[in-house]
Structure 1
Amino acid sequence: MAEEKKKINGGDVLIKCLLKENVKYLFGIPGGQLLNMYDAIYKWGKEQGIQTVLFRHEAAAAHSADAWARVTNTPGICFGTVGPGALNLMAGVGSAWADNIPVIAIVPQVNSAIQDSFTLQGNLDQMTMFRPITKYQKSLRKLEEIPDAVQKAFREATGGRPQPVLLEIFEDAFLEEIEEDKIEIFGAERYRSMQKPSINTELMKDAIELLLNAEKPIIISGGGVARAEAWDELRELAEYLQIPVFTTIMGIGTMTNKSKCLMGASVSGPALKAAPEADVILALGCKFSFTMGHGAEPFWKNSQKLIHVDIDPSIIGRAKPITLGIVGDCKQFLIQILEELKTFDKISEREWLNTLLESRQKNIARINKKAMRDKTPILPKRMIKDILENIDDDAILVIDGGDIAAHMVE
């Protein structure tokens, strides 16, 4: 008698797919439809390096997946049960959407046999519900569809401008079984490009000419630099040409404070002088949102020459008139421009940079003076000063919105 072949269910297939993507943690709260996924992790997944992190509310799970994605620069995975669990995920997924963070939300759907029968937690159109806050939505009912659906989810979450995606899996797919050797699961390198496209040579030459002829250039480093992990190249470019660097809120951390080229974040402090006076602006992965004055006058001038680099063509020139628009990955752009620039002499001193540096030092002294005041209750700036002086250089700060965030950025 022929040996019976090993069978696996949809939960096993999903975990195998996630392991192929090097996923280590799933953040969420389980429901009945997800039990096969949980069993797969418990029975064999943990041994291969994947596990779940349990929460008391799905919103916290989604925020944690968001945080994981920001810190590791890999997609964060969150999950919740059908209906109310999916609803609760939306606050965290929405935050990731606003900041272009690759989060993959996995939610089950009730069994197809009782889909439209007002069953417990059923009759909720989860696909439509998530559509405004996700880049891509995929629903599937069959086990065989799981590998392709996971691949599409990761391709969309990480490709172009990273953003959240939704993966909805009907209970049918989780319960279904298949012989293990009859389903093939590819690694990332087998189904999506792992390399970023190069930047057009002529555009690169035009960008270099603008920067070399500028008297008062500035660089704006946005979230696109963080997602591209281009901080080393950014520092090298800024210091090679002695160009002041301002970051957006999402770009904080992309330029080390050990470099004299860093001027601060958002349109505040030295930026209030630099933004309207700059003659050439190199904007890297920047949307010109409200923290950057929307790229509008009087903070900026429409007459300025703007080189706008972004992975998403819909962002280029959206808020501010451009001189040169370059669609591409910020790291790839910086690598190529540095190669070309090194055929030109390095700039050792720039009066414009020194002027802004002096302005920044005066601004820091003014802030420190306020932050030294002893009052009860404690002043927010004093609290921030004490925290920053006592944490490690690689510490991670989580800041609430509102005035405290503005004080921290300052």
Structure 2
Amino acid sequence: MIPNQTVSRAQGNVPQSQWEAGDLLVAYLAQLSVDYVFGVPGGAIEPLYNALARSARKGGPRAVVARHETGAAFMADGYGRQTGKLAVCCATTGPGATNLITGVASAYENRIPMLVITAQTALSHFGRGALQESSCTGIDTVNLFQHCTRYSTLVSHVAQLEHKLSTAIMTAYQSPNGPTHLSIPLDILRSAAPVKIPSYQLAALLHHPALLDENMIEALCDQIASAKKVVFVVGEDCREAIDAILDLAFLIQSDVVTTPHGKGLVSPYHPLFRGVIGFAGHRSASEILSDPEVDTVVVFGANLGEWASNGWDTEALLNDRLIHVENTQENLTRTPMARLHVRGTLTTICERVLSYLRQRLPTEEERAPGVERRQPDSPLREALRQEPKRRFQFDEEAKYHDNSTPIKPQRLMKELTRLFPSNTRFLADSGNSIAWAIHYLQPSWQSDRNGEPFRGCLDFAAMGWAIGAAVGSALGAPGNPVVCITGDGSWLMSGQEITVASQEQLPVIFIILNDAALGMVKHGQRLAQAEAVGFELPAINYCAYGEAMGVPSHIIRSPQDLMVLDIKAICKRQGPTLLDVRVDPEEVPPMKTRMKVLGGAQ
């Protein structure tokens, strides 16, 4: 987008002679094709909202008002993950800024590029006890955000704004990605902009060239070519490279597993897929990694923390069979025991290895009689033409088909997979919801790669993330239904954000697993034989809650209750729907890995 177009889209009806700092900031967001700024308004940040109102009149970036600042950060997170664009959230000074912190910390741990804008009282009021002051002489929000962002700074002069803004945006996309924070006082936001159009073309500066370590790629080719049996582990950073990774797996007939973070990148019916490893994973995936015949495990784009490493499993994963292929340097710090580290752009690395192995692998004529030929490279879509078949088992397969009332969570996941269309985006909240979804939910796989069909907030695991992120995802994927799987505990924290989905007329289906408990706490206490304390929640009719908010709502007690719903109509509705699902409270989620870590903690 050329600069004059950028100005026109963002500036609205303000003459350039009256262009404020807030207008310049919004013009840069327009340059990056950002559509929404998520936040809660307030006095000190009013000039930014004025600029967004002017921008919205010209079809540029506009404000989406959350009900709580944490929800705003979660919405920005969901929007950024869905679109690949910069996530942007904002808050006023004082408690507005501190309310953002949990959502920003979640984005930090999950490496989401995010621009966080908070206001300050006017510079002339610093240190004078102004309302909601959060300057260096009060509750110092710049320093508070230092611990959950890649860059946090105060804009103390309007002449600093353009440079600090560009630094913040570029830093958000530097490896490792993450949030950056600008704290801007009221009088700076209200000042005349130092320039009439953006001086920098940030989109070009954000382009990262494909980087390769030629020596390590050659070593990787040799290791794979000489291996007896290989397993591929697909992590969260493989979205752009997944086709090349799976083509390579076909070529060498490598089994494929994903981390919990990578779930949804591989079709559950892919003929080489053996399930999810780590938290709430599948036995078949662990067995494949533990197979004594496997002499090489190649991990692609994975942050091997507790969830993804099966509780730091040194027998099956974190050992000298491991090869770690990464474009994020920080991930390699988790695998110093690996026999090979390969740094670079994942797609380029895999394409280079594919080319090398196609030339090196023996042809049919060169093989000894009776030796099975390695299958040639086959497009993934060809494999998916076969009749869908799962090649891994669930822990409790019978309950996946159980017709009991109250509905089993396992059966609920089956019906969600079956009932919703293939373009549905599923998001699961922390707690029992994410455990059931990782293990039992098998969303439809799409070859267009327009967003993964499943996402969770892992590692930092903030409750309520999926509620806000579902709103952001729906804004980023218009025309696609979004299903938020959450628990009653998370809903009581953040359920008010459903009114944003109503206001924005978004087809988000909020599914509340209602067991009148903090389920993971309850079952964790039972499994650990600990005191049963603090897990009880009141029995609440969330259907009535939804109806009070003007949202069509339904109580689900059995699989039959789900089957009578008109899912097509629900998905096409211009607004949210709430399902109050009364799940069997005695079903224990697949959380053994977590219990093992907790039990072994010293």
Normalised to the residue count of structure 1, the TM-score between the two structures is 0.89
Partner of 1:160: 175
Instruction: Establish whether residue 300 from structure 1 lines up as the match of residue 306 from structure 2.
Output: no
C-alpha deviations, 1:332-368, integer Å up to 9, x for none? 322332333332348318xxxxxxxxx963615x644
Question: Which residue of the other structure, out of 381, 397, 403, is the alignment partner of 2:432?
Answer: 403
AA of the residue aligned to 1:160: S
Helix, strand or coil for the counterpart of 2:58? helix
Partner of 1:261: 272
Q: Which has the higher helix share?
A: 1
Answer yes or no: is the 8 Å Cα contact 1:6–1:179 preserved in 2: no
C-alpha deviations, 1:251-283, integer Å up to 9, x for none? 122223342122222233212212222311111
Instruction: Establish whether residue 339 from structure 1 lines up as the match of residue 355 from structure 2.
Output: yes
AA of the residue aligned to 1:159: Q
Question: Which residue of the other structure, out of 228, 235, 242, is the alignment partner of 1:215?
Answer: 228
Q: Aligned partners of 1:320 and 1:300: how far apart in 2?
A: 12
C-alpha deviations, 1:212-236, integer Å up to 9, x for none? 221221111111213xx22222222
AA of the residue aligned to 1:270: S
Partner of 1:43: 54
Deviation at 1:41, TM superposition (A): 2.1
C-alpha deviations, 1:82-114, integer Å up to 9, x for none? 111111111211211221212221101111111
TM-aligned CA distance change 1:367 to 1:172, over 3 Å: same
Q: Aligned partners of 1:408 and 1:68: how far apart in 2?
A: 21
TM-aligned CA distance change 1:56 to 1:403, over 3 Å: closer
Answer yes or no: is the 8 Å Cα contact 2:300–2:324 preserved in 1: yes
C-alpha deviations, 1:359-389, integer Å up to 9, x for none? 963615x644221112222111011111111
Within 5 Å, give how 1:237-256 maps onto structure 2: 237-256=248-267
Instruction: Establish whether residue 144 from structure 1 lines up as the match of residue 159 from structure 2.
Output: yes
Partner of 2:530: none
TM-aligned CA distance change 1:339 to 1:168, over 3 Å: farther
Helix, strand or coil for the counterpart of 2:360? coil
Within 5 Å, give how 1:10-409 maps onto structure 2: 10-122=21-133, 123-178=138-193, 180-181=195-196, 184-190=198-204, 192-226=205-239, 229-267=240-278, 268-277=282-291, 278-291=294-307, 292-300=309-317, 302-304=319-321, 306-319=322-335, 321-345=337-361, 347-348=374-375, 361=391, 363-364=393-394, 367-409=396-438
Answer yes or no: is the 8 Å Cα contact 2:26–2:55 preserved in 1: no
Answer yes or no: is the 8 Å Cα contact 1:96–1:164 preserved in 2: yes
Answer yes or no: is the 8 Å Cα contact 2:43–2:92 preserved in 1: yes
TM-aligned CA distance change 1:402 to 1:43, over 3 Å: closer
Moved more, 140-149 or 43-52: 43-52
Q: Aligned partners of 1:43 and 1:72: how far apart in 2?
A: 24
Answer yes or no: is the 8 Å Cα contact 1:284–1:308 preserved in 2: yes
Answer yes or no: is the 8 Å Cα contact 1:17–1:185 preserved in 2: no
Aligned-residue RMSD, C-alpha: 2.4
Deviation at 1:75, TM superposition (A): 1.9
Answer yes or no: is the 8 Å Cα contact 1:96–1:163 preserved in 2: yes
TM-aligned CA distance change 1:167 to 1:8, over 3 Å: same
Q: Aligned partners of 1:198 and 1:178: how far apart in 2?
A: 38
Structure 1 portions without partners, runs of 5+? 350-358
Partner of 2:592: none
C-alpha deviations, 1:124-168, integer Å up to 9, x for none? 211111122112212212222222222111211111121111121
Answer yes or no: is the 8 Å Cα contact 1:302–1:320 preserved in 2: no
Helix, strand or coil for the counterpart of 2:152? strand
TM-aligned CA distance change 1:332 to 1:136, over 3 Å: farther
Q: Aligned partners of 1:397 and 1:18: how far apart in 2?
A: 28
**Percent identity among equivalent residues?**
23
Q: Aligned partners of 1:166 and 1:317: how far apart in 2?
A: 26
Q: Aligned partners of 2:51 and 2:100: how far apart in 1?
A: 23
Deviation at 1:321, TM superposition (A): 0.9
AA of the residue aligned to 2:375: S
Answer yes or no: is the 8 Å Cα contact 2:107–2:179 preserved in 1: yes
